[in-house]
Amino acid sequence: MKKDFLTLRDYDSDTLKKLVQLAIKMKKERLTFGRDILKNKTVALIFEKSSTRTRVSFEVGVYDMGGYPLFLSKNDIQLGRGETIEDTARTLSRYVDMIMIRTFEHSKVEKLAKYSSVPVINGLTDDFHPCQVMADIMTVYEKFGTYDLKLAYVGDGNNMAHSLMIGCSKFGIDFSIATPKGYEPKFEVLNYAMDVARKNGKTIHFNNDPYEAVRGADIIYTDVWTSMGQEAENEIRLKAFQGYQVDMELLKATGKKTYFMHCLPAHRGEEVSDDVIESEFSIVFDEAENRLHAQKAIMAYLIKNGEFGGLL
Ligand code: CP
Ligand code: NVA
């Protein structure tokens, strides 16, 4: 059975921790380890939304492991002209060894995975961004050397919030989130993460007060107020999110040294102030760098049908 990487929900804590270990090894031994894991293999990278980090880190990651990446923007393939995702999946499966897709509805990624005979990786949907969170948690582990931490998320209850809360619950990181009313994460995701966190002896808190959420946090995370596909709501969102900017006052309100994280791209002056993202506490480019290593670990694991044999 081929394995996919669609959401962190599909993975147990032990496997996710091993993937982080593998990502750290990929990073440390970049020039010598895993150079032929994708030898003679091709990976299709489908983008229905813009990207800098995801596109470049996947292309470089495939190249690093000896494979050939195919960048397929929606404007270039028939998917953009109405060919179905089912037909796209079955066609691409006849040519390539793995598919990464960035798209809108999460159900589209699920359908692609269902109809594809090769592994499918979610490179961001409206609901989830699991590759980003693997890179983020790898970054946190590099900084602290433990998962026994608290991460506070301030802002929109969006794809990043969803994947972060699932990721934190699986890795045993306490998680709290503050969103404006009406912009809460999906309750089904929240309930799932709360359940996993409880089993791991950890907590997930949510409310509408950023100062309450960040108390005691080791990390404050935020993301844009208007995600890709929501551009028409920009003005309403700008108003709704007033008071939710991560600025120096909020960063200092944790009562301890706190790192600032953001998946990027950032809208400075909206969800984060310039001085915070430029400060010594900001680790946003470490996160961006780790996309490469985390995704190489994911691709290596998937191409070996979900086995770590010979990798760790
Ligand atoms: N964080 C992230 O996914 O960035 P891109 O949109 O540039 O890929
Ligand atoms: N929430 C953002 C994340 C970008 C990496 C978006 O979906 O646009």
ipTM of the complex: 0.99
Beta carbon of 159 within 6 Å of any ligand 1 atom: no
Strand 120-122 and strand 98-102: the pairing is parallel
Ligand nearest to C-alpha 133: 1
Return the CATH number at 167: 3.40.50.1370
235 and 297 assigned to the same domain: no
Q: Order of strands, edge to edge, in the sheet holding 42-47?
A: 68-73, 42-47, 98-102, 120-122
In-domain check, residue 8: no
Question: In this predicted structure, what is the pLDDT of residue 40?
Answer: 98
- CA angle, corner 77, sides to 76 and 83, nearest 5? 145
The residue assigned the tokens 């990798």 is 311
Percent of the chain surpassing pLDDT 90: 99
186 and 148 assigned to the same domain: yes
Ligand nearest to C-alpha 227: 2
Q: What whole-number distance in Å separates Cα of residue 163 and Cα of residue 193?
A: 9
Structure confidence by residue, pLDDT tens digits, 44-79: 999 999 999 999 999 999 999 999 999 999 999 999
Binding-site residues, please?
51-54, 78, 102, 129-132, 159, 223, 227-228, 263-264, 291
Nearest of 68, 66, 63, 70 to residue 44 by alpha carbon: 70
- In the chain, the number of structural domains is 2
Structure confidence by residue, pLDDT tens digits, 220-270: 999 999 999 999 999 999 999 999 999 999 999 999 999 999 999 999 999
Mean pLDDT throughout 177-200?
98
Mean pLDDT throughout 205-232?
98
In-domain check, residue 54: yes
Nearest of 125, 2, 116 to residue 54 by alpha carbon: 125
Its pTM surpasses 0.80: yes
Boundaries of domain holding 42:
13-129+291-304
Helices (H), the chain: 13-28, 53-64, 85-93, 106-115, 130-144, 159-171, 187-199, 210-214, 234-240, 248-252, 274-277, 284-303
Helix (H, G, I), strand (E, B) or coil at 261: strand
H or E element, residue 178: strand 174-178
Among residues 126, 263, 293, 295, the one annotated as catalytic is: 263
Whether 1 has a pLDDT exceeding 90, the answer reads no
275 and 232 assigned to the same domain: yes
- CA angle, corner 151, sides to 285 and 195, nearest 5? 130
Angle between helix axes 53-64 and 284-303 (nearest 10 degrees) is 50
Integer CA distances (angstroms), 17 to 176, 305, 312, in order: 21, 17, 12
Whether 138 has a pLDDT exceeding 90, the answer reads yes
22 and 67 assigned to the same domain: yes
102 belongs to the catalytic site: yes
198 belongs to the catalytic site: no
φ and ψ at residue 193, rounded to 5 degrees: -65, -40
42 and 63 assigned to the same domain: yes
